[in-house]
Amino acid sequence: MALDTPYRAIFCDLLTDQTLDILPLRDVQFDDYIGRAGTLSGTIPIPDEAIAARVRKVEEGRTAVYLERGGDLWWGGIIWTSTLQSSGRGVLTLSIQAATFDSYAGRRRIREDIHLPVPIDQLEIARLLWDRLQSADYPGGNIRVRTGTETSLTLRTASWRRGDETLYSEALAQLAAMDSGFEHQIMVYRDPLTGERIRQLRLGAPKIRTGATDLVFDRPGTILSYSFPRDATRGGTTAVARGASVNTNAAAESRPLMSSERRADDLLNGNWPRVDLSSDHNEISDPRQLELMAIGTLAQATGPVVIPEITIRLGGVVPPALLGRSARIRITDEWHSPGLDARYRIIGVKVRPPERGRPDTAELYLEEA
């Protein structure tokens, strides 16, 4: 980041959140999404030995980084890799790559038996997984992610076995992908009373929604550019889910459990071609869960997959908590005649801070509201 950037980078200890330093960070890009981890990349310049001594405090896997803009936290996550580089002229830099706190669940494995035979709220199961991976039973595992009290209308059973080495992120993804599932994200913000940095698990069933009013983006106006890709290779009209291999006869070939075929009859009856989807869930041995996985797969990718994207200029009217917000998109051009006026939900955001004359912009990824 240039010295006149509206952002500042705060480096902290991952487990205690104690501030280690505030360092310049250049060539920054960061993004965040609902349902999967976002990323950050940037470069710390090292002009002298004094700065080098400070930068040495940044340790991969145990250092968190936050980006702050106008007093608000816009991004937070864990530094996982770094690269020390020296140019031909002897200029030293440290490039860092980080991922949002969600990524920690992808570095932890379930190493106990978790058996929930009595149906409970699916969001309670998601919180249980985060509480277990941060439990005092696993020293060094508490990264201070807070859980809430959200509820849904869907009750589920669930189980994971010690020895399967299932990633916590995989377990969460399996739950979320079932029919009538949920969305999850870890947001960062400052407590308005104490100023403490908060890492908060957000859950929403079936969707995460933020804010009571629509953000309005116009072209011509705030929208600098847009794209509306339609991809029929990612969607389908039928789906089958495959589970664990079950074989009670040692002399017979081992075959996986399979759900029934689920079909998008509305599209097939409307002369859409048959396009088959399949998903693998090697740790699921419950036929009922496989049926829910097949239904969920088809619901998320029926027909062509469309993820509209707009690029906007960031300004004071754009809040940091964009994920889950409803946006009203109004476009007037040769294609959209007499004009597009539609509501979408923001499911992803990629920010490019200003640098070398480039404006502060954000790419917003959308789905129909």
- Fold held by 211-229+307-368: Phage tail proteins - horseshoe like beta roll fold (2.30.300)
Q: Contact at 8 Å (CB) between 77 and 28?
A: no
What would the pLDDT profile of 257-279 be if each residue is shown by its tens digit?
A: 999 999 999 999 999 999 999 99
Predicted confidence at residue 250, as pLDDT, reads 61
What would the pLDDT profile of 20-54 be if each residue is shown by its tens digit?
A: 999 999 999 999 999 999 999 999 999 999 999 99
Q: Contact at 8 Å (CB) between 25 and 93?
A: no
Cβ neighbours of residue 355 closer than 8 Å, sequence gap 6 or more:
1, 2, 5, 26, 27, 28
Predicted confidence at residue 245, as pLDDT, reads 82
The domain spans of the chain are 7-104, 108-204, 211-229+307-368, 238-245+256-300
Q: Contact at 8 Å (CB) between 310 and 198?
A: no
Mean pLDDT by 10 residues, the chain (369 residues): 67 98 94 97 96 97 95 96 94 97 98 96 98 97 97 95 94 94 97 96 96 93 93 90 77 81 94 93 87 91 86 82 95 91 96 80 93
CATH number of 108-204: 3.55.50
Render 143-195 in DSSP notation, one character per residue: --EE------S-EEEEEE-TTS--BHHHHHHHHHHSTT--EEEEEEEE-TTT-
Cβ neighbours of residue 10 closer than 8 Å, sequence gap 6 or more:
19, 22, 65, 66, 67, 68
Predicted confidence at residue 56, as pLDDT, reads 97
Which of 158, 173, 196, 165 minimizes the C-alpha distance to 66?
A: 196
SS3 353: coil
Predicted confidence at residue 317, as pLDDT, reads 66
pTM metric for this prediction: 0.89
- Check if 7-104 and 108-204 are the same fold: no
The tokens for 293 are 């996985």
Residues in the chain: 369
Apex CA 120: angle with CA 168 and CA 111, to 5°? 25
- In the sheet that holds 183-190, the strands lie side by side as 145-146, 197-204, 183-190
Backbone angles phi, psi at 163, to 5 degrees: 105, -20
Domain 7-104 has CATH 3.40.190.10: no
Q: What count of other Cβ atoms lies within 10 Å of the Cβ of residue 214?
A: 14
Predicted confidence at residue 301, as pLDDT, reads 85
The tokens for 202 are 């957000």
